[in-house]
Amino acid sequence: MRCIFTFFLGVVVLFLSCTSSRIHVSPTINVPLMPYTTREIFGMGYINPETFEVVIPAQYAVAGYFIGDFAIVRKDPDKNTRSIINKQNVVIISNVHRAHIYASEDGTNVFAFTQVHSGIMRSNFTSPGFVPFRVFDPRHTIYRVYNLTTGKLLLSERGDYMRNDRGPRVMFIDNYMIYFGIVYEIMNDGNLKKIEITVEDFMERAIEERNLRRVENDFHFNESLLFDSYFWYVAERFDIEQLFQNIPDHLVLLGNEQSDWRFRDRKPVYQIRPINRDAVYPLRRNRLLYEVELGFKLEGEGRVSNRSMGSERRHFGLWDAVENEWVIYPIQSTMRSLTGFRQTEYAEWIHMEGQFYNILTRKKYRQKYFIIRNYAQDFTNTSIMTYAGFMNDDRKNEIGEYF
């Protein structure tokens, strides 16, 4: 009888431990961390980017960047699973197939959005290649939302697997979270309370409470039709004349001074785009930086050109529309890439064509850091800025150049 009771008690304890709504939380390290890499297979860890001191030794195949006190890592490159760790290198959540981490708008709570796949089914997707063949996909996905700060499992739902799922549709405004079209209030204890209001009505109310007004410019950004609709409530008005006055004499802004078929008005369209707009925080004001695409000016040409430019004739500059000044003076493109500047995970670091620009120290580096594909987060084309100084002395000793 005692053996039966002991066995039954063990089963109950095991069940409770597997279905607990809490996850492990431990004190963390109050220093910034950046991934670093070595030449080894499991060669990624974390350093203090200010002192270059190793905080978490290299042990991961892929190490994602930290959001608050948490990061997504992959231990085994042959397994399609990820884990979430804290700055003490304690595993908080393990064995998930996809994961994203976002902080609330004020940064007091950090949330994890995970997916765990199960089952198997014949997919409609056909693999590319000389001999195409049908592949197999998981049948179901369990979607979970955790508050990593409080260590609580908040939401859990089982649904069908979606091959092209690129992550959670989530936004944060004040102490609210919008998740797949449902508005939740983030309570003081870190829990979520569902609010009976449509997203449209909620956003309209938030815009009114913040006294925001829609901005109208005298031109169109070339990609403005792709912007989220709330961009125009937080962006400062772009003084295009100030930009024209600061374009070097030998360069011309790329665009079209005539009306564009994509727009119904007759405003000109210019090759200008914001590089650090984050639609997860649609109403958060931040210092928007704009990439400006330019080309060599031909004799007799005006200040705008719609000519097709080869990669060797294009320049990119980074413009601050509030201060009306170049953050990074226009530089000539050296590669065939159609993209220019990219905001890294760190506000002060900008990446372009293998070079990293620190807009606070005004120094650029070519060897000390590099970009790797972010296989830790999901299957999208996100990437991670990584310290490479431990790979060789040339990288480690690079002192950077002023720009």
Q: Are residues 219 and 330 in the same domain?
A: yes
Q: What's the pLDDT at 162? A: 80
The answer as to whether 295 is a domain residue is yes
Q: Are residues 194 and 148 in the same domain?
A: yes
Runs of H (alpha helix) within 210-361: 231-234, 240-246
pLDDT classification of 334: cutoffs 50, 70, 90: confident
Q: Are residues 113 and 207 in the same domain?
A: yes
Q: Which of 7-11, 29-33, 381-385 has the highest mean pLDDT?
A: 29-33
- Alpha carbons 288 and 347: distance in angstroms, whole number: 11
pLDDT classification of 374: cutoffs 50, 70, 90: low
Q: Are residues 228 and 291 in the same domain?
A: yes
Residues 283 and 199 sit within 8 Å (Cβ to Cβ): no
- Alpha carbons 307 and 369: distance in angstroms, whole number: 35
pLDDT digits (tens, 9 = 90+) for 215-236: 999 999 999 999 999 999 999 9
The answer as to whether 161 is a domain residue is yes
Q: Residue 182's domain spans which residues?
A: 97-211
Q: Are residues 219 and 326 in the same domain?
A: yes
Runs of H (alpha helix) within 160-236: 199-209, 231-234
Total structural domains within the chain: 3
Closest CA to 114 of 84, 144, 94, 70: 144
The two three-digit tokens of residue 96, written as one number: 């998930």
Q: Are residues 349 and 246 in the same domain?
A: no
| Long-range Cβ contacts of 208-215 (<8 Å, 24+ apart) | 210/283, 212/283
Last residue of a domain, one of 211, 236, 264: 211
Q: What's the pLDDT at 258? A: 79
pLDDT classification of 160: cutoffs 50, 70, 90: confident
Is the pLDDT reported for residue 154 higher than 80? yes
Residues 319 and 290 sit within 8 Å (Cβ to Cβ): yes
- Alpha carbons 68 and 172: distance in angstroms, whole number: 15
Q: Are residues 74 and 119 in the same domain?
A: no
